[in-house]
Amino acid sequence: MQANGRRPTKRNRRVVLIFTLVLSLALCGSARGNSRVRMNPGAINFHIDTKPSEPYVYSQDVLTLEWKNGADREDISYEITNLLDKETMIPASLIEAARIGVSDYQSLDLPMVFLRANEDKAQISFRIASEAWRSAGNFDGLLRTTRLNNGDINVKAHVQKYTCLDVDAGEDGIVVDANQGPGIYAADEKIGFTVFSNGKPWILSVSSECLNLSSSVPGLSQIPPENIWVRLDDEDYEINMAEGLILSGPAGKLVAHELSVRVRTELEHVSGTYKGKLKLTLSE
């Protein structure tokens, strides 16, 4: 009990005072470092609302750095972290910066000088590679100075969800010349399609309507889905359209396929050219 209640000696008080003094000096030094440069704005934002048509998307935010009067000057460099939205990442290598009127764009995955000691002011513009649109989300990262006391800058990328299905089936869709009586006939052309989603993995269902004899009254002679088969790319099996075909794919990857179509005509089918369409339905 006596040991726990012992008052600090002069030596102990001196150690506490020295530690407090060192800590205070460190904090004051950090505050001076943060006050050396004026920066505007406080964050850099990217907005990607749809699939970019150009190699880069440019931020509307231009960063201005300016030395304060009497500040101790030294070159100030920044590099960027990866931008994250939970487990999804935009790599730092996709983000670039340029000193306006001074230097061209360069990647920020390595340090870049933003403000030099021998200049009063600098303006920095930013761009992000269009590849970033492959992942939807709200991404956050930091521009970090190589001098810890110069202050970090928030970087945000807002990428909207984008889902696209492009189908190349010509004007008439499926066209089959079944003019030799009952038998198996292949469609004149393959049907190509591409799928992309930057949000979630996708599911594509493929079904078929009846094929109609093009030279007769609609419905007079039809080839029903149970007499229609499709082959995906160069697979060694076919899928009957009475059952339909289900495909799936990952987010962030463009997927391309082709479908070959074959039909079987029966005795009741009139010889001639039959036309119809496949129905492709995309969901997440």
- Are the C-beta atoms of residues 235 and 241 closer than 8 Å to each other? no
Strands 43-48 and 153-159, bridge-based pairing: parallel
pLDDT at 208 over 70: yes
The pLDDT of residue 214 is 82
The pLDDT of residue 164 is 93
**The one-letter amino acid at 48:** I
How far apart are the two ends of the chain, measured CA to CA in Å? 69
pLDDT tens-digit map of 247-278: 999 999 999 999 999 999 999 999 999 999 99
pLDDT tens-digit map of 71-102: 899 999 999 999 999 999 999 999 999 999 99
Average pLDDT over residues 129-153: 89
Q: Please give the angle made by the CA atoms of 221, 225 and 227, to the nearest 5 degrees.
A: 75
Whole-angstrom distance, CA of residue 194 vs CA of residue 139? 27
Strands 228-232 and 239-240, bridge-based pairing: antiparallel
Average pLDDT, the chain: 87
Give the lowest-confidence range in 2-11, 21-30, 142-151, 260-269: 21-30
The pLDDT of residue 218 is 63
Q: What is the pTM of this model?
A: 0.73
* Residues facing 262 on adjacent strands: 186, 229
The pLDDT of residue 35 is 65
Q: Please give the angle made by the CA atoms of 106, 108 and 111, to the nearest 5 degrees.
A: 100
Whole-angstrom distance, CA of residue 196 vs CA of residue 147? 42
pLDDT at 15 over 50: no
Whole-angstrom distance, CA of residue 57 vs CA of residue 96? 10
Residue 32: which of 153, 144, 149 has the closest Cα? 149
At 59, is the pLDDT very low, low, confident or very high (cuts 50, 70, 90)? very high
Percent of the chain residues past pLDDT 70, beyond the cut = 85
